Structure formats: C-alpha cells, structure tokens
C-alpha cells in the first residue's frame, strides 16, 4: 500500500510542472504586464519620476527578463533579483493590485475554498449513493422516473444560473439573503455559536448549487453500473439459493458497482471546482473565485497565476484521494504493478 501511495505521489510531480508551466503561459498571454501598463499610462501623462520608480519595480519582480527565466524564477528554480525565492521556497508572489503579498490577499479565503469543495464532494456522495441504489433496484418505478427527471433538470441547469434563481426565490418568498458567508450582523462580531451556525446555514445553498449537476451525473452512473451487475447470473444464483434480497445486494453487486462510483468522483472533481469558482462569484462567497475574477480583469498576474495553480492543486489532490480510496477498496489496483511485473 505504502509503495502504491509513494508511486502515485511521485507521478504527480511532473504533472504539476506541466500544469504550472501551462498556467504561467496563460497568465502571461496578455500583452505587457501590470506595471508596464501603468508605465504606459504615466508616460502619456508625462510623470517622469513615477516612471523611474515603476521601472525599478519591474526589475524588482524580474518582469524585464525573458519568458522562460521568468517562469523558472516564479517557480523558484532560477536565481531572481532576490536569489532563489519562488513557489518552491514558499513565496507565493506579490499582488500589484492590492499592493500586498499574494499570501496576505488570498490566505483568508483558502480555508473556505477547501471547506466548500470538501462539503460539495461529501454532498454528492451522500445524496447520490442511496438514490442511485434506489433507482437501480426499483427500476421503472415512479420514484425512479422522478429521480431520473430531476437528474436531467439538474444536469441541464448551469450551476451559476441555479444560484441566481435560488437567490431570487429565497429573497422573494422568505425575504432571506442567502448570499455571502454569514448574516450581516455577525460580520464584525467575534466567534460565537450563532455565528458558526449562520455560516453553516449559508454554506448549505452553495453546496447544493455546486453539487447538483455532479449528483445527477453520479446517480445516473451508479444506477447504470448497478443495473449491469443486477442482471448477472451470480445474482440469480444467490437468489435461487434463498439469500435475503438485502444481503444479496450489499454483499455482491453493490461492491462491484462501488468501484466505478469512486473512480468517477475523481473525474467529477474538476467540474466541481470549476463550479465553486463561478458560484462563489454569483453568491458573493469569500472564496478564491471572486479574487480570481478581479485579478484576471486587472491583469494582476502573480495573484491570478497562484490562484489558478491552487485550484489545479485542489483537483489533483482530490483525484489523489479518490485513487487512494479506490486502492483501499480494490486490492487489484494497489497490487496491480506487482502482479504484472
């Protein structure tokens, strides 16, 4: 098992490098950079002293170097103006827009981002599992049709529109504002039980909004997988032997259908994380989503680059966890390398 974990983590390293390069490339795509744009603006208004200061800043952040050097300095594999001082050394970069280190800008938003995504994955699991089993074992019943219909609606409604619609109806019917992280009166208060409950209450709607499409997809897959298994001959044999229906289901077909269920959630994680970014913007949640949007709009490259990398990391770690779960569940996978070698 340990060997499998180590092997799995080592294969992540080259992936991370490719991803970080890709992200750096995308972030640097717009012509110019934050400071040179400011310089251009100042030049046109003729402020020479400010221009000199900004030129100094450009050199300070190594923005005057060639592309590959800039990338390596950002990662921390090349000596920049301050020696080796990049992501690998724990320096997340500087946010020009906020004039603060990136760490200070998005540090407070990171825990909520992780919590929100974790809660969504849990939600998807907890909701789709029983419904999927129900739909498969009671195929073509009214309940099955109902869930299938709901699932289609869930798949077709884009999450940010769902968020918008829910915002509207909650406001209309209950006079509740479900946006934001907590009720406004708790904003300035210290931590208390009420504040915590308010935060939890505000997390429910975004979790549902982000998780609906994923849940619908998972229900469909679990139902299909389980149906495949239920028509196998070993199920008939078990039934002929007089096994209780519930014991039969839990002991054999469900275990077989569980594997694709867990590996599929790994494939869902990227879209869940995508959803959390845009839903946070719509529902005004203090996650990395809104910060990313403003950073992209103002071309605050180190900030947006780091957020993109963080979001990619989040999906990679999520997929790692789902792979490890799968390995715990299925010995064929964790011993796979040995059996063939």
Partner 1 sequence: MSDSHDTARTHYVNPAPFNPVEDEVLTPEQERYYQASQWRIMWWKFKSHKLALWSGIVLILFYLCVPFAEVIAPYTPNQRNSEHLYAPPQPVHLFHEGRLVGPFVYGQTSEVDMTVMKWVFKEDRTQVQPLRFLCLGDPYEFWGLVEARFHLVCPAEGGTLFLLGTDRLGRDQFSGLVYGARLSLTVGLVGVAIAIVLGLFFGGIAGYFGGVADSLIQRLIEIMRSLPELPLWMALSAALPVTWSPVWIYFGITIILGLLDWPGLARAVRSKLLSLREEEYARAAVLMGAKPSRVITRHLLPGFTSHIIASATLSIPSMILGETALSFLNLGLRRPSVSWGVLLNEAQNISVVTVYPWLMAPVIPIIIVVLAFNFLGDGLRDAADPYK
Residues at the interface with partner 1 (CB under 8 A): 15, 18-19, 22-23, 26-27, 29-31, 152-153, 155-158, 160-161, 164-165, 167-168, 171-172, 177, 179, 267, 270-271, 273-275, 277-278, 281-282, 292-293, 296-297, 299, 304, 307-308, 311-312, 315-316, 319
Q: Which is nearer to partner 1, 253 or 305 (CB)?
A: 305
CB of residue 236 to partner 1, shortest distance in Å: 23
Alpha-carbon distance of 93 to 80, in angstroms, equals 12
- DSSP secondary structure code for residue 85 in this structure: -
Alpha-carbon distance of 215 to 152, in angstroms, equals 11
CB of residue 266 to partner 1, shortest distance in Å: 9
Q: Which is nearer to partner 1, 113 or 207 (CB)?
A: 113
CB of residue 202 to partner 1, shortest distance in Å: 14
Q: Which is nearer to partner 1, 31 or 44 (CB)?
A: 31
Q: Which is nearer to partner 1, 198 or 315 (CB)?
A: 315
Q: Which is nearer to partner 1, 35 or 248 (CB)?
A: 35
Token pair, residue 153, equals: 């609606």
> What phi-psi label fits residue 224: left (phi over 0), alpha (psi between -120 and 50 degrees) or beta?
alpha
Alpha-carbon distance of 1 to 335, in angstroms, equals 8
Q: Are 159 and 279 in contact (CB under 8 A)?
A: yes
DSSP bridge pairs for 340:
none
Residues found in the chain: 341
CB of residue 251 to partner 1, shortest distance in Å: 31
CB of residue 23 to partner 1, shortest distance in Å: 8
Contacting residues for 132 by C-beta, under 8 A, at least 6 apart: 218, 219, 221, 222, 223, 226, 261
């Amino acid at each position: 098992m340990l060997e499998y974990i180590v092997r799995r983590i080592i294969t992540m390293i080259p992936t991370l490098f490719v991803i970080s390069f890709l992200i750096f490339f995308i972030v640097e795509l717009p012509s110019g950079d934050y400071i040179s744009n400011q310089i251009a603006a100042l030049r046109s208004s003729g402020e020479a002293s400010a221009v000199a200061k900004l030129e100094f800043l450009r050199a300070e952040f190594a923005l005057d170097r060639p592309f590959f050097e800039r990338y390596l300095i950002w990662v921390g594999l090349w000596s920049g103006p301050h020696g080796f001082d990049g992501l690998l050394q724990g320096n997340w970069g500087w946010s020009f827009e906020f004039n603060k280190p990136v760490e200070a800008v998005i540090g407070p938003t990171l825990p909520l981002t992780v919590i929100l995504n974790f809660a969504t994955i849990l939600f998807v699991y907890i909701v789709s599992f029983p419904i999927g089993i129900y739909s498969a074992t009671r195929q073509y019943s009214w309940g099955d049709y109902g869930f299938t219909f709901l699932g289609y609606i869930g798949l077709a409604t884009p999450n940010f529109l769902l968020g918008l619609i829910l915002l509207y109806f909650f406001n209309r019917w209950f006079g509740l504002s479900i946006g934001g992280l907590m009720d406004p009166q708790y904003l300035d208060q210290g931590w208390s039980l009420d504040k915590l409950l308010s935060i939890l209450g505000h997390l429910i709607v975004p979790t549902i909004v982000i998780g609906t499409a994923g849940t619908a997809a998972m229900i469909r897959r679990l139902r299909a997988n389980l149906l495949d298994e239920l028509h196998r001959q070993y199920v008939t044999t078990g039934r002929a032997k007089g096994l209780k229906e519930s014991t039969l289901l839990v002991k054999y077909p469900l275990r077989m259908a569980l594997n694709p269920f867990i590996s599929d959630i790994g494939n869902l994680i990227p879209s869940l994380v995508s959803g959390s970014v845009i839903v946070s913007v719509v529902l005004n949640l203090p996650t990395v989503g809104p910060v990313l949007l403003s950073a992209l709009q103002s071309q605050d490259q180190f900030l947006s680059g780091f957020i993109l990398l963080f979001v990619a990391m989040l999906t990679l770690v999520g997929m790692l966890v789902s792979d490890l779960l799968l390995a715990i569940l299925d010995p064929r996978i964790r011993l796979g390398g040995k059996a063939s070698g």
